[in-house]
Structure 1
Amino acid sequence: MMRNILQSNVLGLYFLYGLSFYTMGLAIAMQYRSYSTFRLAYSLSLLAAFGVLHGLSEWGSIFVPIQVPDLGQESVWKMLALQRLLQASSYFFLFSFGMKLAGDTRGRGGGWWMAVPVGALVVWLAFYARFIPLIGSPGLMEWLQLSEVWSRYLLALPGGISAGLALAMQARELRVIGKGALLGSLWGAVAAFAFYAVFSGLIVSPAPFFPASVLNTSLVQSVTGLPVELFRTLVGFVVTFCITRMLAIFDLERQKRLDESHRQQAVLLERQRFSRDLHDGVLQSIYGVGISMQTCNRLLDTDPEEARRRLDSSLQRLNGAIQSIRNYINGLQPAACGHDLAGMVRKVLEEFQQDYGLPVDFYFDQVYRDQVQEQEFEFPPVELVTILKEALHNVARHAHATAVRVTLSTEGKNLLLSVKDNGIGFTIQQPDTWLYPRKPGHHGLRNMRARAASLGGTVLIKTMRGEGTEVRVILPRLQEARSTKQEAGLDAGIGAANSNQ
């Protein structure tokens, strides 16, 4: 009974057979793979062309209306001839896919791989073209059937074999992905193309020459009791299933590239952080120690005690710089300095005055005294202190200033640090306006801006020639004060009596 059902639904098998290959062709065509380094990516367009054309040609076996006399017999013959041409073209692309992929895998570039499938297609076209003078004669249908047999022998059979062998050669490259399911799909596709070569290339309609006179569709029908179209349909489903699953290698490759890109980005960011910390921390400390040592050299004769005190301080700062370098070698962040931002700023200002001899006024407003100093910062305070060090360093080296004023204050939900000098300033395109520091070649300004940005803040500069410069650092507001300390009414003033130095 099953045999009768299959026999009566051969057109349905043609439809499913064509649908499977057409789906495969569309899936391959829609897969974006121009970035891929896999050799398979450069040949898949030929396999996509095979799938689409082969699906259309098989559907032609359904839609060519042989039984409709209104079209005229000659029109039906021409449509059948077109269907045979479409079918042979699909086999040609399959053959070309296998030859190109094999050539790319073996490292033999160039267009030599096209010579064999093109030669086979030319031979078949020469045979096929003989149907033209046969139009209208009784021998036309027989000739069209023979042309299909030769297209399978010349193109489909070697196409299936070459495609299977070429895919088998990709096993080593796919092992790099490390997915066993992909390798399973690869070998499934290899086996499926081998069966395709047999059922679609070797087993043909009966013809009056060997091997078509022996190994043909009638033999399969008599031995198995099933139409050969059923086997071709099953093979088509397996080919489509395995090939579409193999397309996952491009998604995995893209994900691997993204992961590598993220890793490289993380390395780059770490290098930038390392560069900023060295420039703004260690190098500035060493530079300050060098200035202090020069001062010690001048004080040796006039004030030996002060020179000794400065020398001891410089040695301590050198030891701190050495410890920072050790931390970097061990992959550690610079040591945290607690949450006493005002105290940290005072210490930096003391060292600055000692190194450069510039008077510095330090001021923090009443809001900071009453609310801010007892809160936990949303950023490491040492980062803000590092920006302050760089700003003071720029004043000492470039401003030619005689006084500096440092201010800690609040503005809405932001914390502000201002460093203002009375130096020479510099010229900008829009005087007396705030701007972002972007001057090329100056690592200090660039590092300040990058460090503030990493904390969710920004750095602005206001300057004019002859009127000094102000650097303003704006960082996110602090967290709310701890409720327990608010209830206790603790006085959080940080050295209010010493707010100016």
Structure 2
Amino acid sequence: MARDYFLLYLIYGFAFINMGIFSIQGKDAEVTDLPLVKSLKYLGYFGISHGITEWITMIEILDIYSNLYIFLFVIKYFLKAVSFAYLMIFGISLLPLKHRYRKIILKVPIILFLVWMTGFILLSVYYGQDYLILNPKYNIIVLRYIMALSGGIVSAIALYLNGKTIEKRKSNSMAKRYKGLACIFLIYGLLDGLIVKKMNFFPANIINDNLFLEIFQFPIQIFKASVGITINFLLIKVIDTFGWEQKEKINRLEERRIASEERRKLGLEIHDSIIQSLYAAGLKVEYLIKNKSEDNIEPMLKEIKIDLNNTIDKTREFLSSSTLEIIEMEDLNYNLQQLVRKFNENQDIPIEFKSNTSQTNYGHLSPEKSTQIYYIVQEAISNVIKHSKATYAEVLLESKYDFLYIKVIDNGLGISMKGMNFEKHFGISSMEERAKRIGGILNIDKIGNGTKVEIMIPWGDTRHEGQDKSLISR
């Protein structure tokens, strides 16, 4: 029997260590915006540390280092606590949360780890080194019921939400892989978090290894080893998402190339017809100024009128036939970068631009929305420079699941929209009007030191949104 368990723990530990090594490599993390790829290092730390604990259990079963039992026990549970903390960090880092909320919640795994370690040390010092070996209740409650269970559930939820987002982007096969990985992490969380050794407290007195063996007629370690192998398989499949993202980027670049070609053709047509017609009308006006003979005035004015009417018709035709319907996310990102650069060149307040966009997270923007966003940000930065007396400002562009999020903050005097007289603040009134025009929300709040301007703009429903809004006036 001991040999059978030895093999199970060997396979189980190997599966998680292999997953950890694969994940920790950080494949293409610097050239992709996928949240999963950027969070893989935490999954890697979890896999390696958790796999080592299973191998330590394997050594304990063989009883080959009995003189080091207490030392191995301490190392094993320290690594278990580290692994479950990293599992929670992995799940939290994938959740679709605002950066400030995620930053706060990411402290929870660290706090739980410190709480466990403090209790572990105090109990060992007060009751003796072998107390926690003989009384595993503390480790089961904190490590298994709290950290392992919550880590598995949070990771499952985060992976499922990422899968739903990818599903919206018409990649059903990739979404299924995310959801499959979510299911297996949920199973892992339930297995490692709930099913423990039978003990005389709830729920360990009901849900335990013995109950599992009675129901399924095989030890839970076999199921755990299968889960580890399945996680490896699905994770490798999910990493193929990077290839999908690259294809998406190539497609977008091709669309931009086509759009650029359309712009070039449109520019040539405008030059060859509209500008030439206006130039001809201008020459006729110049002729009339120099030759004021009454015989020539009326017929010449009629010709000028015909030329101008033809020009107006051609202009309308170009505007209605223009295929430049979508301003891509990359375009807005670039335009805002250039806007911030120009402001930095012409005034003394340093402004930093940050962009947190993911290919899987964003939809499309109509020219109307892109243009209004640009001018809202421009007005917000202008207000910082003119009125805030700040020494620093920051512009954040972030893609969310259902909307585009923009934030402009400074460390100046600070203002708020609450109780504001908009008649005296034309710029802010204009910002709010622009946001409403495109279905967005504008919030301006006073923070500790300074002002925070938040703009939330929903994505376009289709790639042809804004077809009739090709001409945008400032």
Separation in structure 2 between the aligned mates of residue 20 and residue 172 of structure 1, nearest angstrom:
27
CA distance in 1, matches of 2:128, 2:320: 90
What is residue 180 of structure 2 aligned with on the other side?
Answer: 188
Instruction: Report the residue type matching 2:238 in the other structure.
Output: M
- Which of 4, 17, 26 is equivalent to 1:9? 4
- 1:230 CA displacement: 0.6
Question: Compared with structure 1, are the counterparts of its residues 97 and 327 closer, same or farther at alpha carbon in structure 2 (3 Å cutoff)?
Answer: closer
Tell me, what secondary structure is at the counterpart of 1:89? helix
CA distance in 2, matches of 1:137, 1:291: 101
- 1:379 counterpart residue number: none
The partner residue of 1:240 within 232, 241, 248 is 232
Q: Distance in 2 between matches of 1:118 and 1:217?
A: 29
Give the equivalent residue in structure 1 for 2:19. Answer: 24
Out of 250, 255, 266, the position equivalent to 1:274 is 266
Larger radius of gyration: 1
2:22 and 2:209 mapped to 1: Cα distance? 31
User: 1:111 & 1:325 partners in 2: Cα distance?
Assistant: 52
Q: Could you tell me whether the CA contact under 8 Å between 1:131 and 1:144 is conserved in 2?
A: no
User: Percent identity at matched positions?
Assistant: 23
The answer for the alignment partner of 2:43 in structure 1 is 47
Q: Is the 8 A contact 1:39 1:105 kept in 2?
A: no
Q: Is residue 2:94 matched to residue 1:94?
A: no
Asked if residue 178 in structure 1 is aligned to residue 170 in structure 2, the reply is yes
Q: How is 1:253-264 mapped onto 2 (pairs within 5 angstroms)?
A: 253-264=245-256
Q: Is the 8 A contact 1:186 1:246 kept in 2?
A: yes
The counterpart of 1:198, out of the listed 190, 205, 218, is 190
| Amino acid corresponding to residue 256 of structure 2 in structure 1 | Q
Match of 2:145 in 1: 153
SS in 2 for 1:212: coil
Shift of 1:91: 0.8
CA contact under 8 A between 1:204 and 1:212: conserved in structure 2? yes
Equivalence for 1:439? none
TM score, norm. by length of structure 1? 0.50
Q: 1:172-228 CA deviation, whole Å, 9 max, x = no partner?
A: 312222122223223322322222122211111344544334432233334433221
- Alpha carbons of structure 1 residues 166 and 110: separation in structure 2 relative to 1, 3 Å: closer
- 1:337 match: none
Give the structure 1 partner of residue 212 of structure 2.
220
Q: How far apart, in 2, do the equivalents of 1:123 and 1:296 lie?
A: 91
- Return the alpha-carbon distance in structure 1 between the equivalents of residues 318 and 142 of structure 2: 74
Deviation at 1:99, TM superposition (A): 3.8
Q: Deviations over 1:466-495 (max 9, x none)?
A: xxxxxxxxxxxxxxxxxxxxxxxxxxxxxx
| More displaced 10-residue stretch of structure 1: 87-96 or 183-192 | 183-192
Which residue pairs with 1:492 in the alignment? none
How many Å apart are 1:149 and its aligned residue?
Answer: 6.5
Provide the secondary structure at the position in 1 that maps to 2:106.
Answer: helix
Asked whether the 8 Å contact 1:74–1:136 carries over to 2, the reply is: no
8 Å CA contact 1:94–1:160 kept in 2: the answer is yes
* Alignment-mate amino acid for residue 164 of structure 2: R
**Mapped partners of 1:149, 1:229: distance in 2:** 20
How far residue 120 of structure 1 moved from its aligned partner, in angstroms, is 2.8
Give CA-to-partner distance per residue, 1:288-332, whole Å, 9 cap, x none.
89779989999999xxxxxxxxxxxxxxx99x9999999978979
Listed as ranges, the matches of 1:486-501 within 5 Å are none
**Corresponding residue number in structure 2 for 1:82:** 75
- Equivalent pair of 1:49/1:90 in contact (CA under 8 Å): yes
Q: Is the 8 A contact 2:37 2:239 kept in 1?
A: no
The Cα of 1:44 is off from its aligned counterpart by 4.3
Equivalences, count = 322
Unaligned regions of 5+ residues in structure 1, if any? 302-316, 333-501
Aligned pairs (5 A) from 1:59-458: 59-62=55-58, 67-68=63-64, 73-102=66-95, 104-105=96-97, 109-130=101-122, 133=125, 141-142=133-134, 147=139, 150-276=142-268, 278-279=270-271, 283=275
Question: 1:92 is matched by which residue type in structure 2?
Answer: A
For the Cα contact (< 8 Å) 2:164–2:175, is it kept in 1? Answer: no
Give every structure 1 segment of 4 or more consecutive aligned residues whose post-TM-superposition deviation is greater than 6 Å: 134-137, 288-301, 320-332
Amino acid at match of 2:14: L
Please tell me whether the aligned partners of residues 17 and 52 of structure 2 are also in contact (alpha carbons under 8 angstroms): yes
CA pair 124-262 structure 1, distance change in 2 beyond 3 A:
same
- In structure 2, relative to structure 1, the CA distance for the partners of 1:321 and 1:183 (3 Å cut) is closer
Query: TM-score by structure 2 length?
Result: 0.53
- Structure 2 unpaired stretches of 5+: 294-306, 323-474
